[in-house]
Amino acid sequence: MDEIFKILACPVCKGNLEYNLEKKEILCMNCKRIYPIENGIPIMLEDKAKIK
Ligand SMILES: [Zn+2]
């Protein structure tokens, strides 16, 4: 796993994130927001997140 994903925390709740390699998205384990990854760059913006 890329180091960048270990240091990121959810910008909304500071919760732990899980990187979904298959779907290329990042799920917050705490608030269930899903952040997209565009061109290999995680888009950690609240208004870009989907809520599961
Ligand atoms: Zn969160």
pLDDT digits (tens, 9 = 90+) for 1-44: 555 555 679 999 999 999 888 899 999 999 999 999 999 888 99
CA 3 – ligand 1 centroid, Å: 19
d(CA 27, CA 30) in angstroms, rounded, equals: 9
- Burial level of 45, CB count in 10 A (0-12/13-18/19+)? exposed
pTM of the model: 0.81
What residues does each domain of the chain span? 4-51
Give 39 Cα–ligand 1 centroid separation in angstroms: 22
- What pLDDT was estimated at residue 52? 78
Query: What distance in angstroms lies between residue 35's CA and the mean position of ligand 1's atoms?
Result: 10
CA of 31 to the centre of ligand 1 (A): 4
CA of residue 26 to ligand 1 center, whole Å: 10
User: What CATH number does domain 4-51 carry, 2.40.50.140, 3.40.50.880, 2.40.30.10, 2.20.25.10?
Assistant: 2.20.25.10
